[in-house]
Every structure is written in C-alpha cells, then in structure tokens.
Structure 1
C-alpha cells in the first residue's frame, strides 16, 4: 500500500518532533534511531525513507528546536521588561524540570562540541538569541554573558542531586543577571 505525500510529510514531522523532544531530554547519543522509531510505532528501516542519516535528523530536529525556542522562553514577552522576564522564566524550576520541552542549548551544546560536529543551525539559533538579548541590554558582551550564564546555570542545576544546590544555582545566577541588567530584585 502506497501512502500519500501528505502522509509521508506528516510522518517525517512526527519523527522530527519526537527526536527534538528526546534530544533535549536524553541527548543525541542516547537517542537511537531504533528507539525513536519504536516510540512512534514505526520501523527502523522506515527511518531511511525520510532521512539519509541520523546526522540529517539531528539538523532537522535542531531547526525545530530553534523555532520552538521563542515559545519556550520568549524575549518578546509583553510588558516593559522582556529581558527580565526571559531571565526569570529561563532560570525557573519549571524550565529545569522539563528538559524535553525546554531550551535545547543545555542538552545538545556540549554533545555537539564533543562530537566535533558543531552545527550551523546552532550558530543561527545562538546568534538569533544573542541579537534578541542585545536589543534589551547595553553591551553585546553582556548579551553573551547573559546567554552563557543562563545556559550554564540551567545545565548545572539539572546535573546535581541535591535540590538545595540546584535551586541555589538557579537563584543566584538569576539574581546576578537581574543585577547586571538593573532589574528590580524581589524583597527577601
């Protein structure tokens, strides 16, 4: 039985979305093509009707994650302080607890660097996020610091067992970044 082109496109999109979720949650190396396809009730061999290789899927999933990045942690939030809102949402316990729905940078950046296969899609996403942050801050150097600190703090907060240490990483980084951008800190 032959499927329509629409069915093929929908299946490809399902694969990309599931891969994006799993790459953010588990990483690229821990996500096998076989496990991915099984989770979607598809055959391992069927993967190759949609992608030439896992590397092609990684690029497509990264594009998908980059598009979702603004939905996860938008800089263009309504209100007077979009950068403050971004910092607060990014360095939150909710974002920490949901890596499969969150920013791809903490999960995939180190892995791509270790593989020796950086991605132009990551370049685009990082440059886009830096430009968005720069629009709300005085210095492009500070924009790089804000992005790097957020990603690093989130990554570290997910990697420790002690909830107090995890919370401290988020709380202290958030407070430092809010001071950097001259945001109002809540009374403690």
Structure 2
C-alpha cells in the first residue's frame, strides 16, 4: 500500500505531539520510546524511521511544548491592549487550568529540574528552544527598551514558573488558587 507523500511528516508530527504531552506529564523517563510509539499507534521498531535518537525526539517535543504555550500566551496578549498584554499573559499562565493540566503546560514548569541535569550538548539545544520562547514573549513584556523587557521577562517568568511548581505540590484546588492569586497580584502590581 502506498502512502501519500505527506504521510511520513504527519506521522512524525503525531509522534512529536504525543511525546510532548507525555514528557510534560510524566517527565523525561516517562517518555520511553516504546510508550511514545504505542501512543502513536506504532511499533517501537518504527521509531528510527522518523528520528535519529531519543534526544532528537526530546528536543522536538520540547520545541512543540514551548510553541504550544507561546501560542496560548500570544493569543492572550494579542486579545488585550498593547500596554496591558503582559498582564493578560500573567493571568493566563497563573491560572488554575494551566497549573492543573501539566501535560499542556509550559515545559519549564514540568521539566526544569530534569532539564538542568541534561548533558552539555542537550543543554545547548534546550537553550535554543528557550531563546525562541523568550523572543516570542519579549514584545509583550513591560518596558521601553529591549533590556528592560528582557529583565521583565526573566523576573515575570521565573516567578510564574516557581509559583506553578509550588502550587502543583498542594493537594486542594483552593490551596493552589491561593498561591496562584498571591503571585498574580504581586506581579500585576510590580511593573
């Protein structure tokens, strides 16, 4: 049976999407090649028809995760006035929905401790993806100069990432919401 020319690309994208969600939900070790391929309805043996290594899949799945959250935050920013776009991003990021659905959340919230232990080659590839993410968010950040926007990006996103990580540890939604609200209020009044 012959497949359409774009079939291989479509299968690869499905594998990447499935891996992206699995990695964020279960961590790097939860995304075994066999589990990812099973999710995609394929056999373990077909993996190397699409990827040279598990690291290649990991980087692509991180890229997909960063793009997914960047798209969601960009949509929030674009739906606001330019001077308040960053506030819409903060509200979207520090929402209970974002906190409770780690499989769709920012890869940094789900994976920062694991990614920090990656080897140097992998860290360079992760840094490239993080830099792309930062570039997409900078236009929305408060500040007149690029340097001011970069400082705001790192302060805002570091605070939001840490807040989500702490909130996710809490057993009840009301407790998580209290932490998210405190950080939201702090950030929205700080810039």
- Helix, strand or coil: the match of 2:13? helix
Which runs of no fewer than 5 residues in structure 2 stay unpaired? none
- The equivalences for 1:40-119 within 5 A come to 40-74=40-74, 76-80=77-81, 81-116=84-119, 117-118=122-123, 119=126
| CA offsets 1:51-87 (integer angstroms, 9 cap, x no match) | 0111000111122222222222226322221111111
Deviation at 1:109, TM superposition (A): 2.1
Write the mapping of 1:88-167 to structure 2, written as runs, cut at 5 A.
88-116=91-119, 117-118=122-123, 119-129=126-136, 131-134=138-141, 136-137=142-143, 139=148, 140-167=150-177
Name the CA distance, whole Å, in 1 between partners of 2:27 and 2:136.
Answer: 21
* Counterpart-to-counterpart distance in 1, 2:152 and 2:71: 23
8 Å contact 2:167–2:179 — kept in the other structure? yes
Normalized per residue, the structure richer in helix is: 2
CA RMSD of aligned residues (A): 2.0
SS in 2 for 1:47: helix
Pairing of 1:7-46 with structure 2 (within 5 A):
7-46=7-46
Q: Residues 130 and 6 (structure 1 numbering): CA distance in 2 closer, same or farther, change over 3 Å?
A: closer
SS at 1:114 equivalent: coil
What's the CA shift string for 1:117-161, capped at 9, x where partnerless? 321333323432552344x23534233111100111112211222
The Cα shift of 1:174 comes to 0.6
TM-score by length of 1: 0.85
* Ranges in structure 1 where 5+ consecutive residues have no aligned partner: 182-188
